[in-house]
């Protein structure tokens, strides 16, 4: 039987190889480069196909597909969000993604995206803060110390220049875990007993809690002038973290309004509540922070273009470093019209 051609094989980045790739480059370098890659694609925003992600909701969580294309490549991510999974020893979020050539439809990469989603989410947050946070911000409150927290801390250190993180979670074990993982990172880490204590002296606050519910992680009296809020935990219908009054005082920046109005903090607001699209700030079509006293809010829910950017980034990096394996994924008959014949011949006895 004729062996498959090289086009039948698709590079696959496993979790093991993703971790090897990140360590070979360096976590902070990966976060910086991902932030730059995502920002670059935001400057090409108009080229992309855009749609809110497709969600299948249940009582325990959500399963989503996130597709997009820039006309040359097509990418999608499968991702779930199940907050109660941790009680069973499972991840809250798991994901994988695919990148394909538009011209042929052939996939060029299949990748784990559980680790990669954590990296790209943090890189996007830090990229947004690079445009929106007060200049010279050095202290960040990090409320919600689950699986995403350390990635956020390291991204803000690498991209924004944060020097101290103040941690709080209703689960003290999560805060201890986060503090332990950030030891030796170069960040000053302070574990706090309340969200109010975590806010003391912070110029940036990141909220990344997991429960699928309308919650009030930050109240209006906790937010002083000049704060930048990076709200990334509210990312599906029926899930928010901020009191509505905070939104009324803030200049709100979003990725893709048709999706964020369904999933983000602004699901609490009227459908015509004004927001600014982040890509417009990056391209100079809209203003970001305009004064030292302004409260800026990045209502980040995660968008397919960010996953596309991440897939393209690791595709290029993995092929150069060899941190991948080849999967025999595409049927490759000698005659492309004779798929059945290929199947039939595969069952024939081997010739002596």
Mean pLDDT of the chain: 94
Residue 351 binned pLDDT confidence (cut-offs 50, 70, 90): low
Q: Is 161 left (phi over 0), alpha (psi -120 to 50) or beta?
A: left
Which alpha helices (DSSP H) does the chain contain, by range?
A: 15-25, 27-43, 114-132, 149-155, 172-182, 195-198, 244-249, 257-263, 278-283, 304-321, 339-346
Q: Which of 70, 169, 235, 299 is catalytic?
A: 235
Please tell me the predicted confidence (pLDDT) of residue 2: 38
Residue 349 binned pLDDT confidence (cut-offs 50, 70, 90): confident
Model confidence at 334: pLDDT above 80: yes
Residue 233 binned pLDDT confidence (cut-offs 50, 70, 90): confident
Residue 1 binned pLDDT confidence (cut-offs 50, 70, 90): very low
Mean pLDDT of 309-328: 96
CB contact at 8 A, 311 and 111: yes
Q: Alpha-carbon distance 41 to 120, whole Å?
A: 13
In order of their start, the domains of the chain are 6-115+305-331 (3.30.1780.10), 134-302 (3.40.50.720)
Phi and psi, residue 124, nearest 5°: -65, -45
pTM: 0.94
Give the model confidence (pLDDT) of 195-211 as tens digits.
999 999 999 999 998 66
DSSP letter (8 states) at residue 241: E
Q: Alpha-carbon distance 325 to 27, whole Å?
A: 22
Please tell me the predicted confidence (pLDDT) of residue 215: 74
Strand partners, 109: 99
Q: Alpha-carbon distance 65 to 187, whole Å?
A: 35
Give the model confidence (pLDDT) of 214-230 as tens digits.
678 899 999 999 999 99
Terminal C-alpha separation, the chain = 13
Please tell me the predicted confidence (pLDDT) of residue 4: 42
Token representation of residue 236: 């599906």
pLDDT above 90 covers what percent of the chain? 86
Closest CA to 306 of 119, 103, 81: 119
Annotated active-site residue 235? The verdict is yes
């Amino acid at each position: 039987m004729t062996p498959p051609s090289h086009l039948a094989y698709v590079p696959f980045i496993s979790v093991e190889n993703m971790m090897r790739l990140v360590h070979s480059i360096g976590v902070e370098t990966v976060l910086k480069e991902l932030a730059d890659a995502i920002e670059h694609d935001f400057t090409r925003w108009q080229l992309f196909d855009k749609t809110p992600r497709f969600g299948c909701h249940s009582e325990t969580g959500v399963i989503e597909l996130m597709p997009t294309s820039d006309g040359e490549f097509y990418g999608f991510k499968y991702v779930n969000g199940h907050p109660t999974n941790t009680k069973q020893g499972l991840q809250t979020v798991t994901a994988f993604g695919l990148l394909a050539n538009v011209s042929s439809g052939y996939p060029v990469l299949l990748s784990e995206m559980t680790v990669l989603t954590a990296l790209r989410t943090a890189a996007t947050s830090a990229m947004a803060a690079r445009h929106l946070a007060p200049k010279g911000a050095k202290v960040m409150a990090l409320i919600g110390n689950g699986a995403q927290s350390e990635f956020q801390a390291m991204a803000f250190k690498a991209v924004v220049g944060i020097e101290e993180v103040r941690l709080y979670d209703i689960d003290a074990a999560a805060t201890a875990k986060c503090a332990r993982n950030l030891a030796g990172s170069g960040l000053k880490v302070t574990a706090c007993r309340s969200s109010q204590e975590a806010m003391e002296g912070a110029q940036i606050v990141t909220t990344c809690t997991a429960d699928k519910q309308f919650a009030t992680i930050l109240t209006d009296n906790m937010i002083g002038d000049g704060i930048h809020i990076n709200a990334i935990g509210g990312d599906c219908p029926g899930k928010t973290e901020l009191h509505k009054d905070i939104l009324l005082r803030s200049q709100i920046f979003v990725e893709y309004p048709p999706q964020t109005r369904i999933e983000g903090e602004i699901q609490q607001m009227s459908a015509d509540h004004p927001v600014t699209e982040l890509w417009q700030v990056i391209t100079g079509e809209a203003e970001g922070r305009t004064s030292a006293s302004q409260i800026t809010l990045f209502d980040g829910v995660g968008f397919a273009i960010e996953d596309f950017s991440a897939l393209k980034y690791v595709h290029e990096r993995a092929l150069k470093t060899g941190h991948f394996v080849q999967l025999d994924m595409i049927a490759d008959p000698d005659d492309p019209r004779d798929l059945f014949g290929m199947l039939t011949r595969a069952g024939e006895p081997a010739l002596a």
